[in-house]
Amino acid sequence: MMEGDELCFPQLFNSSCRKPKRPEFEVMLIHILLSSISLLTVILNLLVIVSIYHFRQLHTPTNLLLLSLAVSDFFVGLLMCFQIMLINGCWFLSDLMCVLYQYLSYIITSASVGTMVLISVDRYVAICYPLHYPTKITQRRVQICVSLCWLCSVFLQSLNLKDNLKQPGRYNSCSGECVIVIDYIARMADLILTFVVPITVIVILYLRVFVVAVSQARIIRSHIAAVSQQHSVTLTIKKSELKAARTLGVVIIVFLMCMCPFFCVTLTGQDNLLNASSAAFIICLFYFNSCLNPIIYAFFYPWFRKSIKMIVTLEILQSGSCNDNVL
C-alpha cells in the first residue's frame, strides 16, 4: 500500500500518482541549478532584446536574427519554471496548462533551430558572396524569414499535438501526471524537420564558411602592398564579417553541444533507459544553451557590453538615447 507522503495528491489516494524516489539532496541541487539558470536566462536575454530593439545602430539583418534567438531563449527561461515543477515528478497545475507548456516548448525549440539555420545562411552569404550580401540579405527579407520560421513552428507543432490539444490529459494515467503522446510517424517527421535536416544544413554551410574564412584571413594578414584602395575597403569589410562569423560560429557550436544529447536520445528512443540523474543532466544542458548565448555576446560583442552598461545605468531613458553610438 502506498504511503501518503509518496503521493502527489494524498487526498486522492486511489487516483494520485506516486512521487519518484530520489535523494532529497539531488532534488534540491537540481532545483537550485535550474532556478539559477532560469533567472539568469531571462535577465540576460531580456538585455539582448532591449539592446537590439532600442538602439537604431543595431537594427541590422544579422542582429534581427539574434533578436529572434534571444526572444526564444527568453521564453525558454520562463518555461524552465514549469520544468522545475516536474523535477519532483508531480504536475500540480491543470491538464490544459500541461499541454500548453509542452506545446510552447516544442514551438520555441523548433523556432530556435530554424533561427540557427537562418544565421548560418546569413554568414554563408556574408563570407562567400560579400559583394551580393547588402542586396541579398535585407532587413525586410530577414523579417519575413523570421516570421515564417515562427509561423511554421506553430503550424508544425499544432499538427503534432492536435490530439493532446483537443483533449488535454487524455493520456494521463493518474492525477499529477503531465504526459503528451505523439504517434511514431509524427515524431519521426518532427525529428527530421526540426533536427536532422536543419543540423545538416547548419554543418554544411558553416564548413563552407570556415574554409572561405580561413582563406580570407590569410589574405588579410598578408597585407599585400599592391592592392588597390577599393580592395582594401573590401578586405576591411570582410574582416568585420569574419569576426561576426567567428562569434556566431561559437554560438552554433555551443548550440549543437547542448542540443544534440537531447535530440539523440529522442531520436534513438533510448530515453527509458536513462536513470533520473542522466535525464536531469540532459535537460539542464538543453536549457543551459539559452543562458549561454548572451554570455557569448558579452565576450565577443563590444556593443552588447556597452548596451548593458547604458541599460543598467538607465541612460536609455534619456531622450534620443536610441541614436547613441554603441558600435
Q: Which pLDDT score, from 0 to 100, does residue 275 have?
A: 57
Q: Let me know: does 249 contact 209? Beta carbons within 8 Å.
A: yes
Return the number of other C-beta atoms located less than 10 Å from residue 33's C-beta.
17
Domain ranges, ordered by start, for the chain: 23-89+109-148+182-222+229-267+275-323
Q: Say how many CA atoms lie within 13 Å of 309 toward its Cβ.
A: 9
CA 67 distance to own-chain centroid: 11
53: amino acid identity, one letter: Y
User: CB under 8 Å to 304, separation ≥6 — which residues?
Assistant: 47, 48, 51, 294, 297, 298
Angle subtended at Cα 256 by Cα 28 and Cα 157, rounded to the nearest 5 degrees:
80
By the 10 Å C-beta count (0-12 exposed, 13-18 middle, 19+ buried), 61 is classed as buried
DSSP of 191-260: HIIIIIHHHHHHHHHHHHHHHHHHHHHHHHHH--TT--HHHHHHHHHHHHHHHHHHHHHHHHHHHHHHHH
Residue 210 grid cell: 570556415
Cβ count within 10 A of residue 303: 17
Determine the pLDDT at residue 2.
43
Question: What is the pLDDT at residue 3?
Answer: 46
The closest of 6, 124, 140 to 60, measured between CA atoms, is 140
pLDDT at 258: 81
CATH level 2 (architecture), domain 23-89+109-148+182-222+229-267+275-323: Up-down Bundle (1.20)
Spatial neighbors of 16 by CB under 8 A, at least 6 apart, are 7, 8, 9, 10, 174, 175, 176
Judge whether 289 and 259 are in contact, CB under 8 Å.
yes
Distance CA 62, CA 58 (A): 9
The model's pTM = 0.83
Closest CA to 124 of 298, 311, 249, 258: 249
pLDDT values of the chain reduced to their tens digit, one per residue, 327 residues = 344 457 777 776 677 777 777 777 777 887 888 888 889 999 999 999 999 999 999 999 989 999 999 999 999 889 888 877 777 777 888 888 888 988 998 899 889 889 989 988 998 888 888 888 889 999 999 999 999 999 999 999 998 888 888 888 888 878 778 888 888 888 888 888 888 888 888 888 888 887 877 776 666 666 554 444 445 445 444 566 666 667 777 878 888 888 777 777 666 655 555 555 566 677 777 778 888 888 888 778 888 889 988 998 988 888 888 888 887
